[in-house]
Structure 1
Amino acid sequence: MVNLDQHTEDLVELQGRLVLIKVGLLIVLALLGLRIWQLQVRDGDYYQDLAMQNRTRSIILEPARGLLYDRHGALLAKNVPSFTLYVSRQDVSDQAALIEQLHRYLGLDAAEVHRKLRNRGPAARVKIKDGLSLREAAVIESHRLDLPGVIIQPEYQRHYPFERFAAHLIGYVGEISEAQLQQPAYQDLNQGSIVGQYGIERTYDPLLRGQPGRELIEVDALGHKTRSISVDPPLAGHDLYLTIDIRLQKLAEELLGEEAGAIVALDPRNGDVLALASRPGFDPNMLSREMTPSQWQQITQDPRHPLTNRAIQGQYPPGSTFKIVVGAAALDTHAVEVGEHLQCAGGYRFGKRTYRDWKAGGHGSIDFVNAIADSCDVYFYRVGYRLGIETIAAYATQFGLGQSTGIDLPAERPGLVPTPDWKRKTRGEPWYPGETISVAIGQGFVTVTPIQMAQVIATVANNGLRMRPRLVRAVRDRQRDIIEERPPVVQKQLPVSQATLRHLRRALRAVVTEGTATQANSPLVPIAGKTGTAQVVALKFGSSKGTPKSFRDHAWFVAYAPDTQPRIAVSVLVEHMGHGGSSAAPLARQLIEAAQQWESDGFAIPLTHLVADNSEEDHD
């Protein structure tokens, strides 16, 4: 018989358990509902953003850099399409395997790739290699499933069509450094951005580099782009029209050949730099691409210092070219009169020392014009002593020596105009009168740069009006309109009488027609100038025969042409080549003759014509 009481009790117990289960299920469902509400309503935006971050990336789009043209519209720096390989670190789970694959497919140095990845944060997008060829980019794309986090980005690469020619003035670009990233001028840029590192590229980098853009992309599980969501395009940089004539620039560098030295050509009327050559040089295309440490070391440790721009950074004794300054000071202060004759017997006795003339037998009785023409040292020993170092220094400063010329290039050096105060402060010694005698012929402590001596001779040619050297004529915007024409800048009107300048110019013409620079005499154009020989070490018996080349004198020649209404001024410095009259003067003559022959083309084509000529040129 069934025990009804027991059955009833079991049923009640079961119903109680079912109630508990239902209550438990309701609690669980309530908790799940609450969690769903939290995820979808309260925290929905947060998780939606997180999900978006996991499948989207913000990519920086590098702008096309502004182009560089010479004064005739010849393209000096352009952009060529290229590919850059990046790695998105957050999409890489096995870094060692990825490095091995990149080494396998592209031959990249594993240690170098590891260093780049190690130095960046876990969410960084790291530039690994730029300048990939189309074939290399295709190889990476064909193995993209094996390369999580690897991105191939089409970008521009800087290219310099004239290679080594004009390298020191144009400069080169490179990836921004850690030190630059800390500077206010680069605050809007990121690791991997390309900026000017040298020359015009560096001076005018804010105008040239443009403004980066951004692209929001969707990526797959491997970090590869699947689609573009939005694009804020980059803005191209401004174009620059330079003052140089690339034909003169090439000729100047070819004239120097393998010799170390510099040639500067200016338009004395406005300060336009027509050529600024320095040798030895370098190929900016190589420096604008990623270099290995050993390649960089090879360039920076080259004993010939190819990265030194000798035109603005080489500091040399001016030798007898300094007689231009001393001569102007002497006539202007009446320390000597133009027709006054001084005696030269081949030496000047001062104290216990005899200061020798370059001409052992002396020049005899000689006046100002002939002293300049024949570069008589004894004449200038005497004149220098009459003037005194303070007066010489004051006039040298008026000519722009001992200070930067203001040319629009970085790292220009000022040279040195010595004074008693300078010597006392730097050496703790008094100034001796014999040192004034040495300075009077451009030896001793005085040093100058080739650009400074070009400015000195240009100032004489320009009736005492000293113009600031300039390399940029105009700036063109992205719509190809000229937005700024750079006007010439007058730095100084020399406090020297026009009579003094006339006498000086007459003497400088005599240097070429009958003096120490007859090798600069030209049938095509009348040239005026001054030779100089800068002593490197004192040579026994004054002879360089048998002397190692590194101990031989530097050769100087400064000139302008035509003799009346000058349109070009030139400074030539050739290291360790001896006499300026035989080594430097012929180079200046050839450059001036070429400029004279090419002048029918015009040294300054109207900018509107240049813009029209280049209307089809785009930033590629």
Structure 2
Amino acid sequence: MQKDGDRSKVFTRRVVLLAGGKALLVTLLGARMYYLQVMEAEKYRTLAEENRINMRLIPPPRGRIVDRFGIPVAVNRQNFRALVVAERTRDLEQTLRTFAGLVPLTDYDHQRVLKESKRRRSFVPVTVRENLTWEQMAMVQVNAPDLPGVIIDEGLTRDYPYADLASHILGYVAAVSEDDMDGDDPLLQLPDFRIGKAGIEKVYDLPLRGKSGASQVEVNAVGRMIRELRREEGEPGHEVQLTIDMRLQDYASRRLGTDSAACVVMDVHTGEVLAMASMPAYDPNAFARGLSTKEWKALAGNPRAPLRNKALAGQYAPGSTFKMAVALAAMESGIVGPEQTFYCPGHLTLGNHRFHCWKRWGHGHLNMVGAIEQSCDVYFYEVARRIGIGRIADMARRLGLGADLDLELPGEASGLIPTKAWKSATLGQPWVQGETLVASIGQGYVLATPLQLAVMTARIANDGLAVRPTLCRQRVADGRLITEPTPSFDSVGVSKQAMAVVKHAMWRVVNGDRGTARGSAIDVDGQTMAGKTGTSQVRRISMRERETGVRKNEDLPWKFRDHALFVGFAPAEAPRYAVSVIVEHAGGGSRFAAPIAHDVMLETLRLDPSRRRTPDELAAIREAPPPTAAERRRRAEAKAAAAAALAEATAETAAEAAEGSPGQGGNGQ
């Protein structure tokens, strides 16, 4: 009996322990269920929704770029793409072969589609061809029964209506690279998204890009889209307005033709760049669609450098266009006055070295105006010997040479204005006086860009206002566009009397009886042009060559010929526009650069871009379509004929130049 009681106690104890354990487990299970279903309900509800609902980005339309009158120069056009869904076709290779019979498809694209279809899920579309024409798209649609799995997708792609006419200004867009992934913008993750890679497209990329939209879609367990639940459109990119007049840009580009050349036109009072042409150029549409290897090699290997913006990044010896800076430095120093004369026998001897004038037998006695008009080298050798390189360098910098001008484009070159300190620090050698003489005619170490030469000319024309060039009427601040107020400029610190002497001398260059550019004079209702020619050597003429005869430019290989330059402003009576032109390896500035400047300035005065327009005039300008390829060819032929006629008119000037011999390190004209 005692034994049964003990057994009962053990059984009871075990039952209690087992029941307690079960109760504890139930309590723990209940607590866990409460925690998961109540405390963590929101978290798991979200996870469940995310497994069922995906958010997809919608790229916004890229903002337009327009010229000063609202003419679109970078827009978005409809883009048709052919996609293929592998699971909807029994034989992908056969489908691609059929597609290639309707729309050209390279072997590379054929293999790419096969590889991508194997790498992706079978229901994910793969791009077969982009940028289909309307006819190609229609052909694919008509033959849809023979193209199982092929679908047409419609989107937007960047388009440049004027092709190469403003490519160095606008730049281009291209696919996002790994180096561009530093930002936190989710748009950069989209496989077909494109961003600005050069020019205005790059500098103003953020405001042009806009903000993405979002699409909420329902998907199944493997990610297949079932239906779209909600859609929010993005914010289109902002419109960027340039100071460029596209009509003048078109004219200047076509007037330069096939030459390796650059031209800049700017407003002398506001600094607005009205045209900046660099030829040859490239078609930014090719970059937007994707360059082939062959196309890239053709551009990169072209000796005339179509990818380089020569107006901004090209650095050249300014030649005789630099003589205005030397003249102003002389007058401001008080050492040489405008009426002081020097005798030019055709050369100047310094030590045991002879520095030549471009005119072999010399110009005789000349004052400052006559020396600029006839571009006498010996006169400026004498001036430079008296005032020194320090004063010349200081004046050149005040006129905008030798430093960045902070234009709203990447790749700007700063040029070079040499000094004694610069040579000592850079080359470790002392400055010699002969280098001052060479610098006085814009040769030796002196380098300038066509943009800097236009700025120098503008600062002379406006009596010394330190205008700075600008290409855009807005600036970027925190990714937003802010309209710039009308700028005010300080003075360069040169007297108006000195500026008047130089401006009169520049007027004589174009309109005087002995002016080096007299064949390029203009007269539009009493409005004339003032300017200065320049010819810069790219090779040194040896003494032996001088004794046996200097080889003519046309007898030299292209890369050894002189650069032709011209700078000018008009109307000379009330300056408004400045122009600079350089033609690489062409020859004399009076023969090759001045006629181009003549034509461009005539067109500038005709268009008068700075004049305020009425709403009706603006509407008429904006409605004019871009020139067709045939129209561009016709214009180019007309400009070539006009240039040939003007070249004949300057034959007398060219003959006079042929009588002389280039100066030491430079050609005066």
TM-score, normalising length: structure 2: 0.76
Q: How does 1:587-598 map to 2 (within 5 A)?
A: 587-598=596-607
Q: Summarize deviations over 1:365-405 as a string: whole Å, max 9, x none.
A: 11000001101100111111212122211111111111111
What is aligned with 1:265?
Answer: 265
The answer to whether the Cα contact below 8 Å between 1:272 and 1:470 also exists between their aligned partners in 2 is: yes
Aligned residue pair count: 570
The alpha carbon displacement at 1:270 in A equals 0.2
Q: Is 1:512 the equivalent of 2:515? A: no
What is aligned with 2:78?
Answer: 81
What is aligned with 1:571?
Answer: 580
The alpha carbon displacement at 1:248 in A equals 1.1
What is aligned with 2:365?
Answer: 365
The answer to whether the Cα contact below 8 Å between 1:323 and 1:441 also exists between their aligned partners in 2 is: yes
TM-score, normalising length: structure 1: 0.82
The alpha carbon displacement at 1:122 in A equals 13
SS at match of 1:109: helix
Shift in alpha-carbon separation, 1:509–1:262, aligned structure 2, 3 A: same
Which range moves more in the overlay, 67-76 or 288-297?
288-297
- 1: CA distance between counterparts of 2:148 and 2:223? 12
What is aligned with 2:387?
Answer: 387
- 2: CA distance between counterparts of 1:50 and 1:379? 85
- 2: CA distance between counterparts of 1:603 and 1:270? 13
The alpha carbon displacement at 1:204 in A equals 1.3
- 2: CA distance between counterparts of 1:295 and 1:99? 28
- 1: CA distance between counterparts of 2:332 and 2:124? 67
Shift in alpha-carbon separation, 1:612–1:503, aligned structure 2, 3 A: closer
Q: Is 1:554 the equivalent of 2:563? A: yes
SS at match of 2:466: strand
What is aligned with 1:67?
Answer: 64
Q: How does 1:443-592 map to 2 (within 5 A)?
A: 443-473=443-473, 484-490=482-488, 492-514=490-512, 515-524=515-524, 525-539=527-541, 540-541=545-546, 542=550, 543-592=552-601
What is aligned with 1:241?
Answer: 241
Q: How does 1:11-90 map to 2 (within 5 A)?
A: 56-83=53-80
The alpha carbon displacement at 1:408 in A equals 1.1
Q: How does 1:204-283 map to 2 (within 5 A)?
A: 204-219=204-219, 225-283=225-283
The alpha carbon displacement at 1:155 in A equals 2.3
What is aligned with 2:376?
Answer: 376
Q: Summarize deviations over 1:290-336 as a string: whole Å, max 9, x none.
A: 22333323322322211100000110000000001111111111221
Which range moves more in the overlay, 569-578 or 162-171?
162-171
Amino acid paired to 1:190: Q
What is aligned with 2:406?
Answer: 406
- 2: CA distance between counterparts of 1:187 and 1:350? 68
What is aligned with 1:320?
Answer: 320
What is aligned with 1:13?
Answer: none
- 1: CA distance between counterparts of 2:620 and 2:553? 55
Shift in alpha-carbon separation, 1:381–1:109, aligned structure 2, 3 A: same
The alpha carbon displacement at 1:272 in A equals 0.9
Q: Summarize deviations over 1:537-571 as a string: whole Å, max 9, x none.
A: 12433432511122110000000001122111000
- 2: CA distance between counterparts of 1:447 and 1:177? 35
- 2: CA distance between counterparts of 1:262 and 1:328? 26
The answer to whether the Cα contact below 8 Å between 2:87 and 2:122 also exists between their aligned partners in 1 is: no
The answer to whether the Cα contact below 8 Å between 2:169 and 2:409 also exists between their aligned partners in 1 is: yes
The alpha carbon displacement at 1:73 in A equals 2.2
SS at match of 2:195: strand
- 1: CA distance between counterparts of 2:561 and 2:450? 18
What is aligned with 1:479?
Answer: none
- 2: CA distance between counterparts of 1:105 and 1:46? 48
SS at match of 1:174: strand
Shift in alpha-carbon separation, 1:59–1:380, aligned structure 2, 3 A: same
Q: Summarize deviations over 1:125-176 as a string: whole Å, max 9, x none.
A: 99786434564598599589976xx996532111111112111112211112
Amino acid paired to 2:290: E
The alpha carbon displacement at 1:226 in A equals 4.0
Amino acid paired to 1:503: V
What is aligned with 2:653?
Answer: none
What residue ranges of structure 1 are gaps of 5+ in the alignment? 1-29, 477-481
Shift in alpha-carbon separation, 1:586–1:177, aligned structure 2, 3 A: same
The answer to whether the Cα contact below 8 Å between 2:98 and 2:147 also exists between their aligned partners in 1 is: no
SS at match of 2:157: strand
The answer to whether the Cα contact below 8 Å between 1:529 and 1:559 also exists between their aligned partners in 2 is: yes
Shift in alpha-carbon separation, 1:318–1:123, aligned structure 2, 3 A: farther
Shift in alpha-carbon separation, 1:436–1:278, aligned structure 2, 3 A: same
The answer to whether the Cα contact below 8 Å between 2:195 and 2:209 also exists between their aligned partners in 1 is: yes
Q: Summarize deviations over 1:236-279 as a string: whole Å, max 9, x none.
A: 11112211111111111111111001000001010111110000
The answer to whether the Cα contact below 8 Å between 1:262 and 1:572 also exists between their aligned partners in 2 is: yes
Which range moves more in the overlay, 264-273 or 198-207?
198-207
User: What is the percentage of aligned positions where both structures have the same residue?
Assistant: 36
- 2: CA distance between counterparts of 1:399 and 1:592? 22
What is aligned with 2:189?
Answer: 190
The alpha carbon displacement at 1:190 in A equals 2.3
The alpha carbon displacement at 1:420 in A equals 2.0
Q: Summarize deviations over 1:68-126 as a string: whole Å, max 9, x none.
A: 22222222111112245789xxx9899xx979966874635255558889999999999
Q: Summarize deviations over 1:34-77 as a string: whole Å, max 9, x none.
A: 9xx89x96999888767755664432211111112222222211
- 2: CA distance between counterparts of 1:604 and 1:268? 16
What is aligned with 1:27?
Answer: none
Shift in alpha-carbon separation, 1:603–1:187, aligned structure 2, 3 A: farther
Amino acid paired to 2:510: V
SS at match of 2:165: coil
- 1: CA distance between counterparts of 2:519 and 2:167? 30
What is aligned with 2:200?
Answer: 200
What is aligned with 1:7?
Answer: none
Shift in alpha-carbon separation, 1:402–1:116, aligned structure 2, 3 A: farther
Amino acid paired to 1:537: R
Shift in alpha-carbon separation, 1:589–1:219, aligned structure 2, 3 A: same
Amino acid paired to 1:330: A
SS at match of 2:508: helix
What is aligned with 1:6?
Answer: none
- 2: CA distance between counterparts of 1:153 and 1:440? 63
What residue ranges of structure 2 are gaps of 5+ in the alignment? 1-25, 626-669
